[in-house]
Structure formats: C-alpha cells, structure tokens
Structure 1
Amino acid sequence: MSTFDDRERGFERKFALDNEQEFKAGVRRNRALGRWAAERMGLEGKHVDEYAQAVVKSDFELPGDEDVLRKVFEDLKGSGVSVTEGEVRMKMAELLAQARDEVKKGK
C-alpha cells in the first residue's frame, strides 16, 4: 500500500465525517427552529416537540433548506405571527451556526 492510498483513504474518511457532522447539525438546527417557531405560535407542552419533529421531517421533502423555510414561514404566517421570510432565514442561519458548534464540541 502506498502513501498515496493512505492519504486518499484519509481524505475519504474526513469527507464522510464532515458530511455526517453537517447532517447532524442540520437536524439539530431544524429541531431548534421548530421549537422557536412553536413558541412564537403559542404552542405548549408536547405540541412544541411535535411541531419541532414535523420541521425536522419537512427537510426530507426536497434538497436544501427551502422546504424547511417554506414550512416554518407559512406556519407562522398562518398562525397570525408577524414575521418576514428574511427573519426566518436569519434565525435559520443563527441556529445552524450554533448547531455546528455544538456538533463539533460533541454536545
């Protein structure tokens, strides 16, 4: 086995780890976003966790974050919460940064 093969395997492992961490951060972000939105909609108790889970599931509809954004934004608007799409996008970015940091730290 050559040094090149070892190096290639190392890059493959890092790529797989990075993808796994990004997936975990995305799920964590979506759960936190769901809880944030649920609170703004006035949901309480088990309904907060149920809504957060629905937001996590919505991310599997389409590639990217647009499905999550659409769900949360439309649900907030439908509940009478005054919010802009930009505010939801900013909250998503904020929560993703936090989630990435938590995943890196192993929390």
Structure 2
Amino acid sequence: MTTFDNREKSFEHGFAIGSELAFKARARRNQMIGLWAGEKLGMDAAAADAYASELVALDLKPEADDVVFERIAEDFAKAGVAQSHHQIRRNMMQMQIEAERQVRESV
C-alpha cells in the first residue's frame, strides 16, 4: 500500500467515526430535549421518558431536527405551554452542545 492509500483509509475511518458520534449526540440531544419538553408538558417521569424515546425515533427521518422541533412546538401549542419557537430552538442547540460533550467524554 502506498502512503496515499493509507491516508485515504485513515480519512474514511475518521469520517465513519465522526458520523457515528454525530448520530449518538443527536440521539442523546433528542432524549434530553424530550425529557425537558415532557416536564414542561406536565408528564410524569415514565410518560416523559416515553415521549423522549419517540423523539429519538424521529431522528431516523430526513430533516430530523425540523421534525423534532415541529413535534415539540405542536405539542406545546396543544397543551398551552408558553414557549416561543426561539426558546425551543435555543434549548435544542444548548442540549446538542451538551450531548456532543457527553459523547466525546464517553469515547
């Protein structure tokens, strides 16, 4: 193998690991935002955990961030929870940062 082949395999391996870590971070973020939203919706711990798991499953769809956001925004509107779209997005971003930190530390 040439040096170029080794570099190519190294970059491919790094990309695969980065993609896996990004997926894990999004799943963790969705779990965290689901628990937060469940609390705001007045759910007990078991219901909030089930709600969070539903949000994690939504991540398998295209444009998952928008799907998760829209689900939370709709559920808040139905329940009369006073959270602006900006507040929901801000919490999602903050939880994404925290989730990425947690995933990096677990590796």
Is the structural similarity TM-score above 0.5? yes
| 1:45 to partner: Cα distance | 2.6
Q: Give the corresponding residue for 1:32.
A: 32
Q: TM-score, normalised by structure 2?
A: 0.95
How many Å separate the matches in 2 of 1:58 and 1:86?
A: 21
TM-score, normalising length: structure 1: 0.95
Give runs of aligned pairs for residues 4-23 of structure 1, distance below 5 A: 4-23=4-23
Aligned residues: 107
Q: Is the 8 A contact 1:58 1:71 kept in 2?
A: no
Q: Equivalent residue for 1:51?
A: 51
Could you give the per-residue CA deviations for residues 39-97 of structure 1, whole angstroms, max 9, x where no partner exists?
00110031011111111112223324100100011111111101111111000000000
- Paired with 2:61 and 2:77, the residues of 1 have a C-alpha distance of 20
Taking the aligned partners of 1:26 and 1:16, their CA distance within structure 2 comes to 15
1: distance between equivalents of 2:64 and 2:13? Answer: 23
Cα root mean square deviation, aligned: 1.1
Aligned partners of 2:48, 2:66: CA distance in 1, in Å? 22
- Contact 2:25–2:103 (Cα < 8 Å) also in 1: yes
Task: Give 5+ residue unaligned stretches, structure 2.
Answer: none
CA distance in 1, matches of 2:21, 2:82: 33
Q: Which consecutive unaligned segments of at least 5 residues does structure 1 have?
A: none
**Structure 1 vs Structure 2: percent identity of aligned residues?**
35
Indicate if the aligned counterparts of 2:58 and 2:64 stay in contact, CA closer than 8 A.
no
Of Structure 1 and Structure 2, the greater helix share is in: 2
Deviates more, 1:74-83 or 1:21-30: 74-83
